[in-house]
Structure 1
Amino acid sequence: MTHDHEYTIKRLRELARAGDLGRLSEAERDVLRPAAYDLACSIVFDVVYRRVARNRGHHACARGFRHLGECCLDGFHDDLEAVVERLLTTTEQINDLEAWIAARAPGFAIDAYRRRRGAIGAPQRPRMTKWLRAALGDDPWLCRLALRIQEWVGVPGGVGATLWPVDSWAGERGISPSEAQADVEKVLVAMRERPKWYHDHIEVPLGHKTAPVGGSPGEGAGEPRPLPPGDPGELDDARADDLATVAVEAIRAGLGRGEDAAATVETVLRELFLHGSGADEIGRAPGAGTEREERVSALLDDPVALEILIERVLRIVRGPAG
């Protein structure tokens, strides 16, 4: 990180604490925007997009933002942009930027996602109408599939070998892809009973989809799952991203049970970042560790640094006070 970039991040934090970000000119925001993106990138992936990728069945993409395939990359960038723009236009006083972003990113991303869907004609909140339910014979599976179709047409990208993600839907139902495709056709026939509705809310949004050059890493037929990393450092980064999400959930659970906050944070950090399960050691040379583990170990063994670390982690877990 260059000295100029460090200064920009420091300036971003100062303006946030003063509640002045929303009072800047667009030119001043342009100067701060790269720092805001760097600060928000991993947080937005952890609290927003990892779950999105998993819900779509894109398990390779869910490993970390460095592993996102083309079908997910645009969506992640859209979510990240939405969070950064809300940050740079807020007049709220923010004492801890990371905690503020973590607490508000899901809501910002959802709002932006719905606006993007609305802009291309896709239903912002897919729902089952009375006429469509009747046209489907009130069949529970076909009604659920109709909602999946309405959701899918508003998702950017995602067009691959087939127009619809029938493999995923087949797995949800426990049927073959060909059977799922036949069910999709049944739903589409029912939807076409309202030609204008079908054109506006299905055909038009589908026209905005773009076919990726290649699928998500590890998602193609015959590709290993999980995809072997090309670089050990990428594996360590992905592992740290996953552990951070697990740590926040574990600490929240401990606090919810009334456990001592400081002891809970220390225990979770030691167990996850130092002890682990052993699976992450596969592929490393015997006795080899990572610089990250060494830094975490040093922080946990330093009473003063540990106290500061616990306070910071608790601010992130609990979110902003106001």
Structure 2
Amino acid sequence: MPPRGDEAAIVEVRELSRHGRLSGTIAEHTGAQRRRLIGAVYTIAMPVVFTRVTRRMELRRGHHACATSVRHLTDDCMDRFEDDMEAVVLDVERRATLPIRDLEAWIASRVGQATVDGYRRRRGAVGALQRPRLPRWLGEELAGDRWLCELALKILSWAGSPATAGTELWPTEAWRVARAEFRDDRQGAGIRGDIAAVLAAMRTRPDWFAAYVEGPLGYKQTPVAWLLEDDRGHPAEHAAFTFVDRDEQDDAQLRVLAYQAFEAIRLRIGRGEAAHAVVVDVIGTMFGGTAAGPADDRPLAAMRDDPVERNRIVAAVLTLLDEPGAF
């Protein structure tokens, strides 16, 4: 029995790759034939990307259901998977120009670089700097202040990130922790003033500010609104209707806390503190008592009381720090 259409396309893609003609053949075709070949590449690459990238990432995030199969990925996790798949398929399309005996093995050897390149392209697509660097003129506007220059880099990086900060525009809690490494004010009470000062310096070049800060910020997903409170902590307004359930709200807050934790860990390790102690301290401090529902504190208790579990968690966090686009 001859192979079905999709199976025949997979056989053809493997044959083209063995003769070093896969990239060229895809480039030669348009329409249905091109979609057929790209679809076959997608089918071949999918288990490689899920195993080598997605499953590892989901396990590190604690998304054990998402790590079981593509069918179990939640919407946000599926979006990340599709982004990585797009990057890998494009990498095959562009670079499969030499004879490849084992296409899956070749894809696996390049999956890390391909997904990093895809992450940078996505930042570029929204106008964000792919590798934020502090312009000399901005450093001069900030009088060379080490903290304000560091904060400027954080703003440039955040502008191009798809992450959100709850109901706020900026992740002020994470940056307040970072500020304490540069200022005597350990409470970071001046963080909002510092953000305003950096933004004012950036606005001295209006075209640059519009291109690399305002423009990318416009692509961020609208954050999930949390319950509004007044200065005394009492409800200030009750929504008559909510578009998401409490679990989604909890997940949104936990994502913000995760971003803030990773920012604090990166900064403190960069300042020379011992990585193991930093991870234990930050995770215990930031997740020891969250407002996101009835938190299960068993993992935190295990991290505190069980050296083996503590080492496992620390190793997972440090590995995740090296992943492109992680929080």
TM-score class, shorter-chain normalisation, is 0.5 to 0.7
Deviation at 1:203, TM superposition (A): 0.7
Determine which of 100, 119, 126 is the counterpart of 1:120.
126
Q: CA separation in 1, counterparts of 2:79 and 2:105?
A: 25
Residues 169 and 59 of structure 1: CA distance in aligned 2, closer, same or farther (over 3 Å): farther
Matches within 5 A, 1:21-60: 21-22=22-23, 23-24=25-26, 25-26=29-30, 27-44=32-49, 59-60=61-62
2:207 to 180, 196, 202: 196
- d(CA) in 2 for partners of 1:10 and 1:224? 51
Contact 2:133/2:153 (<8 A) preserved? yes
Aligned AA for 1:91? Answer: T
Specify the code of the residue in structure 2 equivalent to 1:15.
L
Partners of 2:57 and 2:191 lie apart in 1 by 22
2:201 and 2:107 map into 1 onto residues whose CA distance is: 43
Residue 219 (1) aligns with residue 265 (2): no
- The correspondence for 1:184, drawn from 180, 195, 200, is 195
The Cα offsets for residues 118-145 of structure 1, whole Å up to 9 and x where unpaired, read as: 3432223210122211222323232222
- Partner deviation per Cα, 1:195-244 (whole Å, 9 max, x = no partner): 2211121111111222266565753741577899xxxxxxxxxxxxx9xx
Q: Which residue of 2 aligns with 1:130?
A: 136
1:92 corresponds in structure 2 to 98
CA distance in structure 1 between the aligned counterparts of 2:116 and 2:122, rounded to whole angstroms: 10
In structure 2, give the amino acid aligned to 1:193.
T
TM-score by length of 1: 0.55
**Identical positions, percent:** 40
Aligned equivalent of 1:18: 19
Cα 1:219/1:199, change in 2 over 3 Å: closer
Farther-moved stretch of structure 1 (32-41 vs 201-210)? 32-41
Greater relative contact order structure (CA < 8 Å, 6+ sep)? 1
Aligned residues: 227
Asked if structure 2 preserves the Cα contact closer than 8 Å seen for 1:117 and 1:123, the reply is yes
For 2:189 and 2:42, how far apart are their aligned partners in 1?
43
CA distance in 1, matches of 2:191, 2:91: 40
Residue in 2 that maps onto 1:144: 150
**CA shift in 2, pair 1:128/1:31, >3 Å:** same
2:113 equivalent to 1:107 = yes
- Kept after mapping to 2: 8 A contact 1:37/1:80: yes
Instruction: From 78, 82, 96, give the equivalent of 1:77.
Output: 82
The 2-side partners of 1:172 and 1:46 are apart by 35
Helix, strand or coil at the partner of 1:219:
helix
CA separation of 1:132 and 1:105: change in aligned 2, threshold 3 A? same
Distance, in Å, in 1 between the alignment partners of 2:86 and 2:100 is 19
Mapped to 2, the partners of 1:206 and 1:137 lie a distance apart of 26
Please list the CA deviations of residues 20-62 of structure 1 after superposition, one character each: whole Å capped at 9, or x if unmatched.
22214233331233343343335435656789899xxx93469
- Render the CA deviation track for 1:135-183: whole Å, top value 9, x for unaligned: 2232323222211211221223536422223344445556668654443
Inter-partner Cα distance in structure 2 for 1:97 and 1:209: 36
Following superposition, the deviation at residue 95 of structure 1 comes to: 1.7
Contact 2:129 2:156 in 1 (8 A): yes
Listed as ranges, the gaps of 5+ residues in structure 1 are 229-241, 250-322
Tell me, in whole angstroms, the C-alpha distance in 2 between the residues paired with 1:68 and 1:172: 32
Q: Is the 8 A contact 2:179 2:188 kept in 1?
A: no
Counterparts of 2:195 and 2:58, CA distance in 1: 22
Matched letter for residue 41 of structure 1: M
| Structure 2, unaligned runs of 5 or more | 181-185, 225-247, 257-290, 299-311, 320-327
Greater Cα shift, 201-210 or 132-141: 132-141
Q: Which residue of 2 aligns with 1:208?
A: 219
Alpha-carbon distance, 1:12 to partner = 2.9
Q: Which amino acid aligns with 1:86?
A: D
Provide the C-alpha distance between the structure 2 equivalents of 1:51 and 1:135, rounded to a whole number of angstroms.
42
TM-score by length of 2: 0.54
SS at match of 1:30: helix
Q: Call closer, same or farther: CA 1:73–1:173 in 2, change over 3 Å.
A: farther
Paired amino acid for 2:211: D
RMSD: 4.2
